[in-house]
Structure 1
Amino acid sequence: MNNLWLITGLALLPGLGNFAGAMVAEFVRTSPRLLNLALHASSGIVIGVVAIELMPEALDNLAGWWIAVAFAAGGAIYIGTETLIVKIKPSRESGGSTEMWMIYVAVAVDLSGDGLMIGSGTAVGASLAVVLAAGQVLADFPEGYSIVANVDLCLKPRLAH
């Protein structure tokens, strides 16, 4: 039972990091340069965590083609989700917007994937799960910031028209 609480607590940390970054964006004046830095920081940290912690484990346990199929399936699911949202949501001419829905879906999928990654990392070892959770919190803070900052800088002026 203690492992369940450990996994749950670690899996919730990326969501808290994302929320904290979003709150900072609400209260700090955002510039395009700061948004750019946040996006680069977030992607750099994620690439580092994947390259150093996940890929060696994955390649030791799976054939490379499984990993390629998983990446391709993720891309296909994203395209399918975007297509579905475009069909369901009203057009911009009638006052609707799909941009915010894609942001909601992307954040939900990202945080769900983070939780699954941390949970499966716990099966390998608690220390791996802690490293994965810490890396995701570090990546999700600028990610949360960039999501809200991007909405403030880019989407709000377009949505107002």
Structure 2
Amino acid sequence: MGSRPRPIRSSSLRESQSQHQQHSDFDSDESYSDKMEGAGSWDVLDWTKFAPKSKSISHDMEEFLYHNEDVKEKGQGVVLVNTDEAGTLLVTNFRILFVREGTRNIIPLGTIPLATIDKFTKLVPKSSPAPRQSDKAPSLRLLQVIGKDMRIIVYGFRPFTKQ
């Protein structure tokens, strides 16, 4: 036996009128332009004060950036610990981007959008039991990024590199 499709329920006239009243704040006796007149004038703004922002940090990495993406920080001498690859770490207004040294390819594992970062932690590796070795070898600085998608990315910063 075939079943007939259910008819679509239409809203009552009362419901549609109340919805229309909620969404028609500007359809009253006053026109929209009259209401905006009291809010101030566009002529007051001085548009010449706004100069385009220059990208001062990284002109050599523009090929990897999206439209309107600005580099906020750049770290050279960084190692992606997950894959033991060296490269450059860029922190932009959209994402953390890891670019392989030499080939200048983006490493997808080392690249994560800022919106998907759950937390990040500065890690200090445990020193070896022999104090003489720790005096000779400077400690490696690590940054662990945990994504909302449960991936864990660890960046290592080489000693004696200015970041």
Per the normalisation by structure 1, the TM-score is: 0.19
Structure with bigger strand share is 2
**Of the two, which has the highest radius of gyration?**
2
TM-score normalised over the length of structure 2: 0.19
Using CA pairs under 8 Å that are at least 6 residues apart, name the structure with larger relative contact order, 1 or 2.
Answer: 1
**Greater fraction helix:** 1
